[in-house]
Amino acid sequence: KFNEVTMAPPDPILGVSEAFRADTHEMKLNLGVGAYRTEDLQPYVLDVVKKAENLMLERGENKEYLPIEGLAAFNKATAELLFGAESTVLQQQRVATVQGLSGTGSLRLAAVLIERYFPGAKVLISAPTWGNHKNIFNDAGVPWSEYRYYDPKTVGLDFDGMISDIKAAPAGSFVLVHGCAHNPTGIDPTPEQWEVIADVIQEKKHIPFFDVAYQGFASGSLDEDASSVRLFADRGMELLVAQSYSKNLGLYSERIGAINVVCSSSEVAQRVKSQLKRIARPMYSNPPIHGARIVANVVGTPDLFNEWKEEMASMAGRIKSVRKKLYDSITSKEKTSKDWSFILKQIGMFSFTGLNKAQSENMTSKWHVYMTKDGRISLAGLSAAKCDYLADAIIDSYHN
C-alpha cells in the first residue's frame, strides 16, 4: 500500500544545509538557513540559557505535564515582553496567550482558529514571505493571497503596491505582517509607513496578524523590535501575534513560542483562549516544559534578563558588523556604478542580494556558497574573515 506514496520535495531552506554537508570544498560557506553562528561559524548556546538550565537543575524541577495552555510564568513573561508590562491590553486582560510549539506551531494554532471561526476569510501574505507560511495556511485549509512587498528595481519596499493590495482585499481579511526583520528580504516599513498600514487595515476592518520571530534580534532592543505590534495594540484593534524564541534566545530545537490574541474584552479573550486549548489538545495535548522554563527564568531573574539583553545585542551587533564589512568589500571591488547601499538598509539576520535564480545557482556551483535560490543570504552564517571571498562571489555572480 505504501508503494503508492510519492517522494516529497525537500524544504527549500532546510534542504540547503543537506547539500552543504555533502560538499567537501574548503571554502564552502552555508548562508542558507537562518541560524546564528559565532565568528568561528559554530552554533552558539547563550550563557543565560546555560545559567537558567543550571537553576532548573538546582531546584530539581519535575517533568509533570503542563496545562494545555502552557507554563503560566512563561505565558505571563512572553505577553509582557511583547506588549510591555504596563500596556493597556494586558492591564485590561484582553489578551489570550497560549504557549505554542515555537513560531511555526503558534502560527498553526492561529491558522486553525481562523479556519474555524472565520470560514472563507483570506490571509494576505507578503510577496515574498517565509516559505513555511504558505504550507501552514494550506494545511490548515485557510485561503491566502499575496500583497506586493518587494520591489526588485530598488531592492526595497513596494509600499504603494502593498497599500493598494491591502485596500483591494475583501473587508475582514487577515493581514500577515512580519513584526520586524522581514524574512527573506530584511526590508521593514518605517514607523510612518506602519501608521499608514494600520490606517488602511482599520478602514477595511481587516485583522492584523503579526509574525514576531526576531524580537530583540533585529535592532538589539526588545522594545524597539516590538514597536510595530504596540502601535497596533495601542489603537485598540483586535490582532493576532505569533512569537518565537528560536533566534533571540537560540532555542531553535526547544520549540518554544506563543500565540497571543488581543480581543475586545477580557471575557472575549477567555473564550478565545478556551478555543485555542481545544485546538491544541488533539494535536499535541500539551506543550514541552524545558524551553518555557528557560524563558520564564531568564525574563523573571533581573540579572539574567540584563545579561540576555547584552548577549542579544552582541549577536545583533555581530550581524550588523559583517553586513557593513560585506558592503565595504563589495563596493571596494565593484567596477561599475551599481548602488549596493540596499545591503546596509536591510535589517536582521538576512540580506536579499537581488541575485536571481541563475545567479544564486552560480554562487553555489562555482563558489560553494550555499544559499536559497531567491537570492537570500543569512548573514548570521558569515564571519568577518569570509566577507572578502563572499564579495568576490557576489560580484562575479551578479555580472554573470
Q: Which of 130, 209, 217, 370 binds ligand TYF (CB under 6 A)?
A: 130
247 labelled catalytic: yes
178 binds, among ligand PLP, ligand TYF, none (CB under 5 to 8 A by kind): ligand PLP
178 scored as a contact of ligand PLP (CB under 6 A): yes
In the complex with ligand PLP, the residue whose CB is nearer, 105 or 368, is: 105
The answer to whether 372 contacts ligand PLP (rule: CB under 6 A) is no
- 194 catalytic, yes or no? no
**Binding mask 37-76 vs ligand PLP (x if CB under 6 A, - otherwise)?**
----------------------------------------
The reply on whether position 14 binds ligand TYF by CB under 6 A is: yes
95 makes contact with ligand TYF (CB under 6 A):
no
| Residue at 103: amino acid letter | G
Q: How far is the CB of 177 from ligand TYF (least distance, A)?
A: 16
CB of 71 to ligand PLP, least distance (A): 17
Three-state SS letters, the chain:
CHHHCCCCCCCCCHHHHHHHHHCCCCCCEECCCCCCECCCCCECCCHHHHHHHHHHHHHCCCCCCCCCCCCHHHHHHHHHHHHCCCCHHHHCCCEEEEEEEHHHHHHHHHHHHHHHHCCCCCEEEEECCCCHHHHHHHHCCCCEEEEECEECCCCEECHHHHHHHHHHCCCCCEEEEECCCCCCCCCCCCHHHHHHHHHHHHHCCCEEEEEECCCCCCCCCHHHHCHHHHHHHHCCCCEEEEEECCCCCCCHHHCEEEEEEECCCHHHHHHHHHHHHHHHHHHHCCCCCHHHHHHHHHHHCHHHHHHHHHHHHHHHHHHHHHHHHHHHHHHHHCCCCCCCCHHHHCCCCEEECCCCHHHHHHHHHCCCEECCCCCEEEHHHCCHHHHHHHHHHHHHHHCC
| Calpha distance 313→29 (Å, rounded) | 24
CB of 313 to ligand TYF, least distance (A): 21
Judged by CB under 6 A, the chain residues 128 through 147 that form the site for ligand PLP are 130
Residue 243 CB, nearest approach to ligand TYF (Å): 14
User: Which residue from 11, 53, 388, 392 is in contact with ligand TYF, where contact means CB under 6 A?
Assistant: 11
Give the integer Cα–Cα distance in Å for 168 and 206: 11
Footprint (CB under 6 A) of ligand PLP, residues 215-254: 244, 246-247, 252
Q: For the segment 97-116, give every residue that binds ligand PLP (CB under 6 A).
A: 102-104
The residue annotated as part of the active site, out of 130, 308, 340, 367, is 130
Considering only residues 29, 31, 33, 187, which one is a binding residue for ligand TYF as defined by CB under 6 A?
A: 33
Catalytic residue among 51, 122, 247, 386: 247
Most distant CA pair in the chain, distance: 63
CB of residue 337 to ligand PLP, shortest distance in Å: 34
Choose the one of ligand PLP, ligand TYF, none that binds residue 257, judging by a C-beta under 5 to 8 angstroms depending on kind: ligand PLP
By CB under 6 A, residue 183 contacts ligand PLP: yes
Among the options 165, 188, 211, 225, which is catalytic?
Answer: 211
* 17 binds ligand TYF per the rule CB under 6 A: no
Residues annotated as catalytic are 130, 211, 247
Give contact residues for ligand TYF (rule: CB under 6 A).
11, 13-14, 33-34, 130, 132, 183
